Structure 1
């Protein structure tokens, strides 16, 4: 599994020459309601085992949570289940707010 820093994700999302990754947000609904990237796929961590068939195992997927721990666990789980391009956003949305977009809501 790859680790991606917030600045690296920002550069990837800004690069029109690269295919956009799937942004899989595994936080709880109340967290996503507070702040989220546009265009996410939202599947809470506890629902991943039952809903993993909703994801494309061949698409590059950046897994997102608050600080990067839940997303790491989900990415590891999906990788063990045949998903080959799993990427963890190190630092999560908190890291994004600290390092990329200071106006991104914090909690």
Structure 2
């Protein structure tokens, strides 16, 4: 049940994917996410703080809002993304307050990972 502190905050992120198992393999290997399957067309993911879903009910649409993950060790996260089969589309660069890189997942979604260091 939602609480007043949940108002106007990101609550869930959903990806339309071609292959749920491939998405689970990528995000599980790259970031250690856990998964709950709800049939053959939907899977919920949990990163330990935020939940979302993978579904095959729609068409993958790379682009849209940029989803940004946080990592204490940015270089280790980049290595993990590459090892899981992701493609680095913007290398680690600095910005006021931290550093980040962008990557695309197997379905072409572009995401970023940042750190304060």
Q: Same fold (TM over 0.5)?
A: no
- TM-score, normalised on structure 2? 0.27
Which has the bigger relative contact order, CA under 8 A and spacing at least 6? 1
Structure with the bigger percentage of strand? 2
Higher helix share: 1
